[in-house]
Structure 1
Amino acid sequence: MDKERVGFAGVGLMGHGMARNIVDKGWPLSVLGYKRRDAVEDLVAHGAREVRSARELAENSDVVVLCVTGSRQVEALVEGPDGLESAGVPLVVVDCSTSEPASTTRLAAALAPRGITLVDAPLSRTPKDAWAGTLDVMVGGDEDAVARVRPIIDCFAGRVVPTGPVGTGHTMKLLNNFVSLGYAALYSEALMLGAKAGLTPQVFDSVIRGGRMHCPFYDTFFTYVLERDRDAHKFSLSNALKDLTYLAGFAQAAEVANPVGAAVRNSFAQAVAGGRGADYVPMLSDIVGAANGIAEG
């Protein structure tokens, strides 16, 4: 059976490795570039073809994978001028972005009459895992559509977890990020308090590492804290704030109290408001420390 034609938009920190896995594993790939010319040129050198618009991407694809910042970018790619739907062709769109669940379900309903099926498939883990093909993927959507795109997702996934109907993947992603970013806020404040008491990050690490609170997120966070490796966890503070803002909107729509979420969001909002949005999540430890009179490093 011939492999379906795959389109890819969003070849950034995560998307580049994902797209390389797709093309290297033999799928016909078209790619829509934006800022990362180096990524586009690398993919073309490995057999992909470049297109100039989302409409052209749709015209040359059976399945289109999106890996962009969030819902506004997804909506623009799908519904904007020369967007995917303007091509008037049947498609399955796989949204691997961290998107707003309400936008995802609205978009899915609007696209269905046009022969376009939306599957939400957000990601967990790091850009290194994207290159290694070992990402965790949460997949929401129609069972037949999910089965159809599963071989493509398997190109870059080590673990795939079906979550239910369309929109549930993005909801689960927000909950996943709430937990992980909550850890980041807790680590940062705990390190600051420890420093006030004369406890070094090394002492803190010697207690946590190998114990019940040790986890892979801790590893990447503390690779920065202890080794000052800026690339240990390449997820920006501004993107973290975006995800926590989506979570706040979800809680508000559900008419529930979300006080811990609000506190975590405020930690990131302060960092971004202070001009540090382009820094990565583990650097929150420096920002919280500096706000309390502790020098970075």
Structure 2
Amino acid sequence: MVEKPVIGFIGLGLMGHGMAKNIRQKGYDLWVRGRSNRAPIESLLALGAKEAASPADMAAKCDIIHLCLSTSAQVEDVLRGSDGILAGVRPGLIVIDTSTADPGSTVKLADELMSRGAHMVDAPLGRTPKEAEAGTLDAMVGCDEALFDTVKPVIECWAGTIKRIGPVGSGHKMKLLMNFIGMSYGALYSEVVVLGAKIGISPQTIRDVIGPSRMGNGFFETFMRYVVDRDRDAHKFAISNAAKDLRYISNIAADARVVTVMASAARHYYAHVEAIGRADDYVPMLSDHVGALNGVNMESESKKNSEK
């Protein structure tokens, strides 16, 4: 019987905690490292996980390390820092980066790991923290086929749908294309509900008409659950992350010499919200900010129409 690899997990936020929990509950030895919020760390320690002193310490103890961070800068720091993964790397170590990251950075880090006999896999995520807790996320994987066969049983702990996209870096490319669509939806829906309010069509009516039509989708449903019902937690994806992903898309497009008018237009809305200090708002709240730019209070619009 083949012994299970020892797993590490760095980044225990909204997505990472559920992923790490499912790895541990599937019987893997697990080392974790979080940040200032102790709650997810203590939760995992109670399940039998152990806490690593640093990324380098984790690299010395683990066979496979997951990263679930916010930006490529954070990923680079975890790998290249003085007590980073590269400082403790052993031949054969596999790093699975589930962050939504810049593919150019991913490929460079993969080369640095390869020079030390280690490997990088990019496996960014689809779906929400709810699916992270349930172990039914989507995974878009970038690595060679042999490495994919090695990591797939571990990814199956937290993913219900797993698709190998191509070589390292391609998973992050696919995820950014997906988020290009999603964040553009956020900008489009924000304009639609604000324009609707201006011309006498309520957010409730827009949801009732569009939701069951061919143009309805899961993103629309959670977006409108905030706009209409004011459910802050309906779609927990921060505007800071949306803006970051659209910046990465713009970088990819510039390198590919592709015109992306839609991406540039959407990016400015999210950049505006960052600039006014509201980057921690969730994506559906963009509708409030677009409303404010147009003299419309979307919360009042929603309440006004719900009372009819």
Q: TM-score, normalised by structure 1?
A: 0.98
Matched, 1:67 2:68: yes
Give 1:281's match in structure 2, choosing from 283, 288, 293: 283
Structure 1 counterpart of 2:164: 162
Q: For residues 33-91 of structure 1, give each alpha carbon's deviation from its aligned partner in whole angstroms, at most 9, with x where no partner exists.
A: 21221000000000100011000111110000000012111111111111111113120
How far did 1:185 drift? Answer: 0.5
SS in 2 for 1:114: coil
Q: TM-score, normalised by structure 2?
A: 0.95
Q: Is the 8 A contact 2:104 2:169 kept in 1?
A: yes
Q: How far apart are the structure 1 equivalents of 2:37 and 2:11? A: 9
Structure 2 counterpart of 1:19: 20
Matched AA of 2:116? R
Q: Is the 8 A contact 1:138 1:162 kept in 2?
A: yes
Q: Is the 8 A contact 2:227 2:298 kept in 1?
A: no
Matched AA of 2:262? V
Q: How far apart are the structure 2 equivalents of 1:153 and 1:20? A: 13
Structure 2 counterpart of 1:29: 30
Q: How far apart are the structure 2 equivalents of 1:56 and 1:252? A: 38
SS in 2 for 1:26: coil
Matched AA of 2:45? V
Q: How far apart are the structure 1 equivalents of 2:159 and 2:37? A: 22
Give 2:189's match in structure 1, choosing from 176, 187, 190: 187
Structure 2 counterpart of 1:76: 77
Unmatched 5+ stretches in structure 1: none
Q: Is the 8 A contact 1:55 1:86 kept in 2?
A: yes
Q: Is the 8 A contact 1:23 1:48 kept in 2?
A: yes
Matched AA of 2:216? H
Structure 1 counterpart of 2:39: 38
Q: Is the 8 A contact 1:133 1:155 kept in 2?
A: yes
How far did 1:16 drift? Answer: 0.5
Q: Please list, as runs of the form range in 1=range in 2, the aligned pairs for 1:109-128 lying within 5 A after superposition.
A: 109-128=111-130
SS in 2 for 1:161: strand
Q: For residues 216-263 of structure 1, give each alpha carbon's deviation from its aligned partner in whole angstroms, at most 9, with x where no partner exists.
A: 111111111121111111110011100100111111111221111100
- Size of the aligned set, in residue pairs, is 297
Q: How far apart are the structure 2 equivalents of 1:147 and 1:79? A: 27
Q: Please list, as runs of the form range in 1=range in 2, the aligned pairs for 1:120-269 lying within 5 A after superposition.
A: 120-269=122-271
SS in 2 for 1:294: coil
Q: How far apart are the structure 2 equivalents of 1:52 and 1:230? A: 35
- Cα RMSD, aligned residues only: 0.9
Q: Which runs of 4+ in 1 moved over 2 A?
A: none
Matched AA of 1:224? Y
Matched, 1:48 2:49: yes
